[in-house]
Amino acid sequence: MNLYAIAAIYRFEMARTFRTLLQSIVSPVVSTSLYFVVFGSAIGSRIPEVGGISYGAFIVPGLVMLSLLTQSISNASFGIYFPKFTGTIYELLSAPVSPLETVISYVGAAATKSIILGVVIMATAALFVPMRIEHPFWMVLFLVLTAVTFSLLGFIIGIWADGFEKLQFIPTLIVTPLTFLGGSFYSIDMLPAFWQKVTLFNPVVYLVSGFRWSFYGLSDVGVEISLAMTLLFMLICLGGVVWIFRTGYRLKT
């Protein structure tokens, strides 16, 4: 494995983050802070505790997950789409860099950015609400697995997209609604029985539930199921990436 090539691409992608610090870090943190102000303070003070947890603290894992999912997809999709747009993808394809090294570089950089953002958001949340982490190992595990999984999805989207508008299609119209409806701001136990069953078909429910369990020991589904669903989605995304490189799907268009 060419570690020099991986490191070069990784450093280039990370450097782009620091060149656009306002957009990459500051903007998501400010947006999330507004959620805490509105939901945690203004609305949260009128909502009773959820499972013995104040509403402001209860929504922290959901907000972190919302940013993690959208930013992982955005970082990875733009990272691989931009070389296609500028034509430098041909240099990458002709270089002595294997598909595995390419994926590790781009997905690794995108996941790293998202993890940094998630940590910054959690630190910001601690300024607004009394937050605790009961299972730090599981919190880190879910954080890393989710970031890597959705960075893989973003990589696939970046290959699939043939225009900048398509880069935002899935994150905006599919992932964000699923996250809002996946228990980010409420427990699915609050829903009528019928809608509880319907909600279980939303894959984001398992991600949010497992992540919230690592904070407060509360979950809508078993943590084992949450972990299994996360790993399953990762395997599906890995399968999609393998198929792309085996077939050459849109790599040169």
Percent of the chain with pLDDT over 70: 89
Section 144-172 average pLDDT? 87
Output the DSSP codes for 169-185.
Answer: HHIIIIIHHHHHTTTSS
Banded model confidence at residue 214, pLDDT cuts 50, 70, 90: very high
Structure tokens of 74?
A: 């955005």
Radius of gyration of the chain (CA): 19
Q: Which residue, 159, 80, 169, 64, is CA-closest to 119? A: 64
Residue 4 has pLDDT above 80, yes or no: no
Place of tokens 């998202």: 114
In sequence order, what are the residues at sequence separation of 6 or more whose Cβ sits closer than 8 angstroms to the Cβ of residue 64?
A: 32, 118, 121, 122, 125, 143, 211
Residue 108 has pLDDT above 60, yes or no: yes
What does residue 80 show for φ and ψ, rounded to 5 degrees?
A: -90, -25
Whole-prediction pTM: 0.87
Percent of the chain with pLDDT over 90: 26
The span from the CA of 110 to the CA of 128, in Å, is 27
Longest distance between any two alpha carbons in the chain, whole Å: 60
Q: What angle do CA 45, 48, 49 make, to 5 degrees?
A: 105
Place of tokens 């490191």: 7
Structure tokens of 103?
A: 């994926």
For 26-43, write each residue's pLDDT tens digit.
777 787 777 777 766 666
Q: Which residue, 77, 98, 86, 102, is CA-closest to 9? A: 102
